[in-house]
Amino acid sequence: MSTLLIIVNIAVLLLFIIGLYAMQKKHVSFSKRVFLGLGLGIVFGLVLQLIYGAKSDVLKTTIDWYNIVGNGYVKLLQMIVMPLVFISIVSAFTKLKLSSNIGKVSSLILSILVGTTAIAAAVGIAATLTFHLDGAQLQQGDAETARIEQVQQKLGDVSGTTLPQKVVSLLPANPFQDLTGDRPTSTIAVVIFAAIIGGAFLGIKRKNPEQADLFVKIVDTLHAIVMRVVTLILRLTPYGVLAIMTKVTATSDYNAIWQLGKFVVASYVALAVVFIIHLLMLAAVGLNPLTYVKKALPVLTFAFTSRTSAGALPLNVKTQTSDLGVPEGIANFAGSFGLSIGQNGCAGVYPAMLAVMVAPLAGIDPLSPSFLLTLIAVVALSSFGVAGVGGGATFAALLVLSSLNLPIAIVGLLISVEPLIDMGRTALNVSGSMTAGLLTSKATKELDTGVYHGTKEQSVTV
């Protein structure tokens, strides 16, 4: 009987996928298909949990099959991230789009990412104080105890790392290893390696133009192939979002979420405020924030459902270049740097909230100006090297709490609502990197405002 139920569940998902595919054939817009997949996933997941229960064997096996679509899609995106980052940045050099202002572009992007993370920390602090969150009120069960043990073990791996060591870790000691994404800072290392290759190309171009021309043809060909692969993978987005969202809503522990509802609400209020700050920053430089929301919503939706900034990178870069008018070189720098540096949600809001919640347990007044200023500074500096995958927020929180000699057990006490909050944090991370790309291209006067405002057609149909 259980096998028959699993087959029925799989058949229903396949019917939804067929329906979304039929819409694609009828040229229904990409955004509408993504949001329909999102809505179907939410409703279908809730129905599955209502019928079977969150911990039933039938649901567990069903979700295992659904992961072929959901996790498979995310893995395909992660597969193309490193080739996309590398070839796009080298291509920006061969097309002479980064040769003269790479230092300015990099500095602006990094400043915006770290600056908005500091702002996000301040917002997280304000939200914690406004909602009167207290770490002493959190309850510890078996799952939380096991999580705390894992956290303490992980702390031993990161607590001894100094700031100079963190800077050195960004460098590509073995670019082939970094192209596999083996380290949390692999993306930044690949960016640096690609920039070095690009700089070498500029030198060869001056001394041996014939070799440089051959290299340009090779890079252009590889770039065209990689971008075609990106397009093919992005066409799977509605199906991936459907499967991922079904899994999330079908397996969530709503009782635990209810018990920690105050923290969840405070977190999302803080995340929403930081997102509004992104919009205000765009408005300040003359860009319509509503246009940004409309065009960025598909990639933010995917980031929300998948909880992976790295997986969202191909859609992030394509949205910046095709729909928002950001030059390809700047879009790749902003998207790539945003995976490991200055994540507004994971490395900004979250660690700051936890630090304020546990400060009284360490005998520290959370309202002390010296503590608050120190916390914001530590959060900003610790935002270097946060992995762009699920779990990066835990890493960031450990760095901040250990740097301030605060109890780290609180990280494990929030395990039951971690996935739910991580969805919003990841979407904010991606928004921060896109905002950095827009502000930087606007500052360097390279933003194609015609594409941004929709007066010039450049959007690519996925």
Q: What pLDDT sits at residue 310?
A: 81
* pLDDT of res. 154: 54
pLDDT value of position 65: 95
Domain containing 21 equals 2-453
Q: Does 461 reside within a domain?
A: no
Assess if residue 276 is contained within a domain. Answer: yes
The mean-pLDDT minimum among 33-47, 299-313, 408-422 falls in 408-422
Please give the pLDDT value at position 55. 84
1 falls in which pLDDT band (50, 70, 90)? low
54-91 confidence digits (pLDDT tens): 889 999 999 999 999 999 998 998 888 889 888 888 88
| Ranges 144-148, 250-254, 291-295, most confident | 291-295
Quick: pLDDT tens for 203-239: 898 888 889 899 999 999 998 999 899 889 989 999 9
**What's at 316, amino acid-wise?**
N
The pTM assigned to this predicted structure is 0.83
Please report the pLDDT score of residue 167 as a whole number: 72
Closest by CA to 134, choosing from 254, 263, 271, 267, is 263
pLDDT at 160: 57
Least confident of 112-121, 354-363, 385-394: 385-394
pLDDT of 459 reads 46
- Residue 17, amino acid: I
Tell me, what's the pLDDT at 295?
Answer: 93
Residue 313 has pLDDT above 70, yes or no: yes
Average pLDDT, the chain: 85
pLDDT surpassing 70 at residue 440: yes
Angle between helices 57-94 and 328-340 (to 10 degrees): 130
**Residue 84 falls inside a structural domain:** yes
Does a structural domain hold residue 22?
yes
Give residue 42's pLDDT: 92
pLDDT of residue 460: 45
Q: How many domains are there within the chain? A: 1
pLDDT of residue 136 exceeding 90: no
Task: Report residue 390's pLDDT band, with 50, 70 and 90 as the boundaries.
Answer: very low
Which pLDDT score is estimated for 121? 95
The answer, yes or no, to whether residue 302 has pLDDT greater than 70, is yes
- Residue 458 in any domain: the answer is no
CA 163 to mean position of chain CA atoms: 23
**Domain membership flag for residue 303:** yes
Query: What value does the mean pLDDT take over residues 145-173?
Result: 63
CB contact at 8 A, 133 and 357: yes
Structure tokens given for 446: 């390279």
Q: Percent of the chain, pLDDT > 70? A: 89
Does 368 map to a domain?
yes
The enclosing domain of 80 has a CATH number of 1.10.3860.10
Is the pLDDT at 385 greater than 70, yes or no? no
Tell me: pLDDT of 146 over 90: no
Note the pLDDT of residue 397. Answer: 82
Tell me what pLDDT residue 392 has: 66
Give pLDDT, residue 162: 64
Q: Is residue 40 part of a domain?
A: yes
How does residue 14 score in pLDDT terms, banded at 50, 70 and 90? Answer: very high
- Note the Cα 397 to chain centre separation in Å: 16
